Amino acid sequence: MKNIFLFFVCVIFGTSCSRSLQEYKKEGSVSIDMENLKELSFYDVFTKMDIYPLETINESLIKNTYKVVLHGGLFYILDDMLSVIFVFNQEGKYVRIINKHGNGPGEYARIKDFRFSGCDLELLSPMAGIYVYDTLGITYKYRVRFPNSLRAAHFFVDIAPQQYLFFNNAAKGDKMFFYDSKQDKITDSTYNIPTYLLMNTLYHHVNSPFYDYNGIPHFVQGHDGAVFTLKGGELLPKYQWDFGEYNFKLENLPPDKDIRYYLTYHRTTGKKYATSFITYCENSQYYSTQFYLKNKIYKLFYDKVNQCPIVFDRFKEVDIMAPEILDESFAYSIVSPNLLNKFINVDLLDKENKKRYDSITLDSNPIIIRYTFKNKIL
């Protein structure tokens, strides 16, 4: 498996392999013309916008929204500063908190990632392993400890029963580790990209590089947005984006500089390239992501059915639209009160939504925005 994936890595990085970068791109790249973008109305894509302020009470005060999952009709929100998960219903009503922070049995020091697997809720503690609870997060079941050869992990995904793929931003050499908990060993590792790219630049993953769609784990490269599926222990290319002259090439990035250098590079030379891909999600018709180019954040909706990319930086009526979750009918964003007016247009809200809007203050919890898809994007 390692050799297969290293082929993709060296293709992406422009080194010599059995096939050229041009041949690789011809096989699966989606061409994106940044010079002729269509101005979009909100109503070209959606029919309605609803807002649901998350209930603000003493038990539900969120410090930082790090990861949001919609599961079983409930929003699970990881606050990485508090190392807890807040649970709300789809109308924003507070349901409960999952808080096993501590030093006792079944308790963790910190949470960096979480996911649902069958009847289990799995919480990743970066230095300790995976803590497994029932789906309510109440009953502790067991801990999947890291093997001695893996010192830490920042993100993870289940690939089969008792098999996991861990991602470590800070590891030297390979960053992904395949772990079989039954055998208690790392069975393979891959993704040997420069550590400075993930630790000192803005081209790293803001949150987890993994997402699930149709029960299949996916991996996204932060620096160029390439999407891979994980099947049978192999990472296979799914979506590749060809921005032409705006393609980001890793070999053009000077290596091993300090973080101040790369911050300046990102604002100057680096702004000419499409990079820093964030918030990736997918449903049966669309793949959604965002990327940075020319000091703007662009949205990319890829219509999988019609094989058509839709790229825009804003709607005519709304400045920002940044979906974090897609289902078959809706796109969802979660925003803080101070940014809400960038994400919505009050004139587009109906009476009930305006009433909710008027109840929000700067001290309120974040707000869930739900966008209703049209049957077909123009």
Structure tokens belonging to residue 123: 């919480």
CA–CA gap between residue 40 and residue 168 (Å, rounded):
39
Please answer whether residues 19 and 323 qualify as being in contact, where contact means their C-beta atoms are separated by less than 8 angstroms.
Answer: no
Q: Which residues contact 87 (CB under 8 A, 6 or more apart)?
A: 74, 75, 76, 77, 94, 95, 96, 97, 98
The pLDDT value given to residue 252: 84
The 10s digit of each residue's pLDDT in 32-53 is 999 999 889 999 989 999 999 9
Nearest-5° Cα angle at 301, 374 to 67: 100
Closest C-alpha to 129, from 103, 158, 102, 156: 156
d(CA 94, CA 131): 24
Phi, psi of 132 (to 5 degrees): -110, 125
Report pLDDT digits (tens) over 329-371: 999 999 999 999 999 999 999 999 999 999 999 999 999 999 9
Residues lower than pLDDT 70 in the chain: 1-28, 376-378
Count of Cβ atoms closer than 10 Å to residue 204 Cβ:
17
pTM of the model: 0.89
List the domains of the chain with CATH numbers.
2-373 (2.120.10.30)
- pLDDT for 378 equals 53
How high is the pLDDT of residue 231? 82
Tokens found for residue 178: 């395949």
Contact 212, 165 (CB under 8 A): no
Task: Note the pLDDT of residue 284.
Answer: 94
Helix (H) or strand (E) holding 26: helix 21-28
